[in-house]
Structure 1
Amino acid sequence: MAGEMSIIGSVILALFLAGYLGQQYLPPPKPRVIGLDLGTTFCSVGVFQPGTGEIEVIEDDKGRNSIPSVVSFTPTGVFSGHEGQELSDTNPQNTIYDAKRFIGKIFDEDTLEKESARYPFKVIFNNRSAEFLVSTNSTFTVTPEFIGSRLLLKMKKMAEKQLGVPIDKAVISVPAEFDERQRNYTIRAANLAGLDILRVINEPTAAAMAYGLHKAEVFNVLVVDLGGGTLDVSLLNKQGGMFLTRAMAGNNKLGGQDFTQRLLQYTVERVRQQYGVPPTLKEDIHLLRQAVEAVKLNLTQEPHVHLRVPLYLQTTGANGAQEEKVLFQEKLTRELFEELNADLFQKILAPIETVLIEGHLEKEEVDEIVLVGGSTRIPRIRQLISQYFGKEPNTSVDPDLAVVTGVAIQAGIMGGSWPLQVSAIEIPNRHLRKTNFS
């Protein structure tokens, strides 16, 4: 018996030694499972690198680590991501965005009509579901999951190009409030892109993993996810490596796009004041919107930014209507930006207060405040959250990439990659409902 135990021990030791030597001297295997963040406004794809344990967020050919969640249809083809977004002003009726808001969701006709009024493209009612009407060489409808599949396919190809291997397996994140139907339709979108989904993980849990909270001694975690188009606040309770979502609230009509729009409205009015007419050409509006978006991003780092945009204004002279080329210049300050959006920023606190009430928790009992989404970079928003809780939120992870980082960690776990990670287990909370503000 002792001899058998000795042999078994030797075999185990040899296996560990072989694993160690393989790690040291052999090139690590390529990741075969990707992590996908199919966001409302932006999407990202990441991988867990075996051997090093590092997370790599895949970049496109221009070095950008996320793509806009936009798909545009033209007579010559279908364009996803940045290519689709470039067509949004010149081809608005056939450029679809925010498809995630509709995927797998059941509507009544009146609700869908109200929801679709905010979009330049046509949303139609079909058997309690939403579809998008597209007119190019012919007129046809596409489903939200088809739009999602085009974005997922683009990210799949980005990963394959970067890694040099075919990819057909993934882990994907979804909002915590997604029901079973919405999760299944998200999986269907991935299947249309040629991907087998090994696991669906909630976005707040993925974010918590990115911050390493699945391995830390924390119990109550508040996740504030403020992206381009939506605000989601989740209260997580962690016991060991298990996460339970205790409460959710949010505002599906509040995000970075709204802050940009306030700044755009201000600059359009300044053009009118300086030149007597506002910009009306689609190309001018497109340039101005792009410039204002860049200003918004820069104001997170700088106290003021100089805006310079060439415009072709439609003026009226002695010879009637004419086009005048001007260089619009304006100094925009962080103080002005905060003033223009003061009421919108204040709305962020309402869902936070709600999840604490519904989670039966005092704000002093929150162990970690985790920020997710690019809009949480805005200094005034961080200041409001810090003042409310009396302590600084955790900002150790890039908020734009927190979800995709967590999903990539989970993808590494599902792929059995070395070094082994602690998995986060989500406890389903079937009775939980999200409180929505507007």
Structure 2
Amino acid sequence: MAGEMSMIGSVILALLLAGYLGQQYLPPPKPKVIGLDLGTTFCSVGVFHPGSGEVEVVADAEGRKSIPSAVTFTAAAVLAGHEALELGDINPHNTVYDAKRFIGKKFEAGVLEEESSRYPFKVINNNGSAEFVISTNHTFTVSPEFIGSRLLLKMKKMAERQLGVLIQKAVISVPAEFDERQRNYTVRAANLAGLEILRVINEPTAAAMAYGLHKVDVFNVLVVDLGGGTLDVSLLNKQGGMFLTRAMAGNNKLGGQDFSQRLLQYTTQLVLKEFGVPPTLKQDIHRLRQAVEAAKLNLTLHPSAMIRVPLNLHGSSQSPEGTAPVLFQTQVTRQLFEELNEDLFLKVLAPVKTVLVEGHLEKEDVDEIVLVGGSTRIPRIRRLISEFFGKDPNTSVDPDLAVVTGVAIQAGIMGGSWPLQVSAIEIPNRHLRKTNFS
């Protein structure tokens, strides 16, 4: 009997040793669960690599790690991401963006009409749900979850091309304030893209995981998520590996698009002053908008940026009765950009103050301030937050990729990847309501 027990012990030891050596020397398995961030203005997909424990945010064929959340319809194809954005100005009525604002929402009469008035594409009310009207060689409607599915399908294919394996399972993030219906419709969008969703995780929790806060001793975490179109502020309370969302506030009509629009209005006035007419041709407006967006990004790193755009102005002083090619150029400074947007920047602090009041905390009680979203790179935004709290926010993770990084970590956990991470458990708070300042 003792000999048998000794033999069993030897076999177990040999298996453990083989497993250890396998982890050390054999190539790790390919990840088969992806993490998806279906954002309002940009989307990303990430994977957790077994063995190394590293997160890879998957890039497209051109090396870009996020794709615009836009889908365009032509008579020949449905295009998503950058290809859709390129056609946005010449095919505006059939290019749908911001679909996340509509997914799973029930709208009362009149509310949807007001919400949709800011878009060039047509939105209709179908028994309280939004649908988008598309007219190519025929007219039809599509749902917000269908738009989401095209973006998720594109990211699924990006991951499959990078990993060389078929992907059928994923973890996806949603805003913390999404109700059960909005979460279900987001899952439905993934199902339409051929994906099984293993878990839905809140965006602020995912961001906290990206910063490693699920593994360290912190208690109160403030997440400021300022993207292209929305501002969301969440106060998380962490105990062990569990996160409770204590308070939420935000502004669903404040983001990088608004800051760019101020700069676009300024440059449009300069064109009018210099050439006697504003840009009216779709191609001119598209070029000017792209140049302004590039300048805004440059001003994050540099004190000034050049805007240089060839325009074909209609009815300018150089060609009163037709179009004339001109070169518009101007230099803009960070100081000017901040002055143009100062009132908008100050609006960021309103929901920050609200979540502290509703969470019954003083600003000194916040252990970590986490920044999410590309617009939190703007130096003035960071200064405002630093001055308000009297300490610098945590900027160790790329704010554009914080959510997708956290979702990818959770995807790795769900896929059983090693080295195993500490999983974050979210405590549902169904009585919590988001305060909106829009």
Report the TM-score range of the alignment, normalised by the length of the smaller protein. Answer: over 0.9
Give 1:131 deviation, angstroms.
0.5
Give 1:25 deviation, angstroms.
1.6
SS in 2 for 1:176: coil
Let me know the Cα RMSD of the aligned residues: 1.3
Q: Is 1:359 matched up with 2:359?
A: yes
SS in 2 for 1:392: coil
Instruction: Indicate how the Cα distance of structure 1 residues 248 and 317 shifts in structure 2: closer, same or farther if over 3 A, else same.
Output: closer
Q: Is 1:152 matched up with 2:152?
A: yes
Question: 1:2-22: CA deviations, max 9, x gaps?
Answer: 777755654443333112211
CA distance in 2 between counterparts of 1:41 and 1:295 reads: 19
Match in the other structure for 1:311: 311
For the 8 Å contact 2:277–2:316, the answer to whether it is kept is no
CA distance in 2 between counterparts of 1:220 and 1:308 reads: 46
SS in 2 for 1:388: helix
Match in the other structure for 1:436: 436
Match in the other structure for 1:194: 194
Match in the other structure for 2:291: 291
Match in the other structure for 2:41: 41
Give 1:81 deviation, angstroms.
0.3
**Counterpart mapping for 1:324-403 below 5 A:** 324-403=324-403
Match in the other structure for 2:256: 256
Q: Which amino acid aligns with 1:184?
A: N
**Counterpart mapping for 1:49-64 below 5 A:** 49-64=49-64
Match in the other structure for 2:412: 412
CA distance in 2 between counterparts of 1:362 and 1:5 reads: 61
**Contiguous gaps of at least 5 residues in structure 2:** none
Question: 1:69-123: CA deviations, max 9, x gaps?
Answer: 0000111111100000011100111100000000000101211111001111111
CA distance in 1 between counterparts of 2:217 and 2:379 reads: 28
For the 8 Å contact 2:231–2:255, the answer to whether it is kept is yes
CA distance in 1 between counterparts of 2:320 and 2:405 reads: 57
Match in the other structure for 2:221: 221
Indicate the larger mover: 197-206 or 273-282.
Answer: 273-282
SS in 1 for 2:400: helix
CA distance in 2 between counterparts of 1:192 and 1:389 reads: 44
CA distance in 1 between counterparts of 2:179 and 2:4 reads: 53
How many residues are aligned here?
A: 438
Give 1:307 deviation, angstroms.
1.1
SS in 1 for 2:148: helix
SS in 2 for 1:417: coil
Instruction: Indicate how the Cα distance of structure 1 residues 109 and 4 shifts in structure 2: closer, same or farther if over 3 A, else same.
Output: farther
Instruction: Indicate how the Cα distance of structure 1 residues 422 and 137 shifts in structure 2: closer, same or farther if over 3 A, else same.
Output: same
For the 8 Å contact 2:132–2:143, the answer to whether it is kept is yes
For the 8 Å contact 2:275–2:318, the answer to whether it is kept is no
SS in 2 for 1:263: helix
What TM-score results when the alignment is normalised by the length of structure 2?
A: 0.98
**Counterpart mapping for 1:232-243 below 5 A:** 232-243=232-243
What TM-score results when the alignment is normalised by the length of structure 1?
A: 0.98
For the 8 Å contact 2:318–2:324, the answer to whether it is kept is no
Match in the other structure for 1:279: 279
